[in-house]
Amino acid sequence: MQIRELSIPDSYEITPKQFGDDRGVFLEWYRFDKLEDEIGHSLDLAQANTSVSKRGVVRGIHFADIPPSQAKYVTATHGAVLDYVIDIRVGSPTFGQWDSVLLDDTDRRAIYLSEGLGHAFVALTENATVSYLVTSTFNAEREHGINPLDPEVELRFPEEAGELLLSPKDTDAPSLAEAKESGLLPTWEEARAFYASLTEKGR
């Protein structure tokens, strides 16, 4: 597989090598050792999630408190989504910026997001099925959101998504500026310190 760091530090695009024949296709969509070589520590996986979304559904922007927050390894097993990583770490050189990766059942890419980063996606097909490996179990009290339509973040949604469908939870979420003002966001310093502790733990 090929692993490429995105423009947002501590996030990566993973492109697997596929082996196809007249029976179908085989690939490794997750390799702990290959990812560890890139990020400097192994993942202590705690939970696996799957979502199925109609075309146009937007999920996110979601994040969790550090520590431990929740690193995510995400792929689409059916259909296609455009997956976004948003830097919400106050003090980061790319704070407020984002990058995206097309996840689909053709190239079968994945995206890895370190703890403290914001995550969202928009479904480009009907029944877009997304699977996530995450490093901590869901804890509602530590989970937060930012409105994905926040003009300051300015996520760009492709025309293939059609009419956008969002949950009240996401549309009622604060803007990036409001979340920063209220102290809800992680900081660059605490995120870097947490990543360093994971690397030290793995030695």
Q: What pLDDT, in 10s, does the model give residues 99-138?
A: 999 999 999 999 999 999 999 999 999 999 999 999 999 9
The pLDDT, as a whole number, for residue 120 is: 98
The residue behind tokens 């003090």 is 91
- 203 pLDDT higher than 60: no
- 2 pLDDT higher than 90: yes
Catalytic residue from among 62, 73, 112, 144: 62
The pLDDT, as a whole number, for residue 200 is: 82
The pLDDT, as a whole number, for residue 29 is: 95
Type of residue found at 194 = F
pLDDT tens string 137-194:
999 999 999 999 999 999 999 999 999 999 999 999 999 999 999 999 999 999 999 9
- In this structure, what token pair is assigned to residue 198? 């994971």
The pLDDT, as a whole number, for residue 15 is: 98
CATH of the domain at 185: 2.60.120.10
Q: Please report which confidence band the pLDDT of residue 202 belongs to, taking 50, 70 and 90 as the band edges.
A: low
The pLDDT, as a whole number, for residue 58 is: 98
Active site residue 132: yes
Query: Number of folded domains in the chain?
Result: 1
Domain containing 23: what range? 2-201
Q: How many CB atoms lie within 10 A of CB 105?
A: 15
- 201 pLDDT higher than 80: no
Active site residue 62: yes
For residues 128 and 79, the answer to whether their CB atoms sit within 8 Å is yes
Catalytic residue from among 12, 73, 84, 132: 132
pLDDT tens string 7-54:
999 999 999 999 999 999 999 999 999 999 999 999 999 999 999 999
- In this structure, what token pair is assigned to residue 169? 């939870």
Q: How far is CA 44 from CA 71, 136, 159, in A?
A: 10, 8, 37
For residues 118 and 65, the answer to whether their CB atoms sit within 8 Å is no
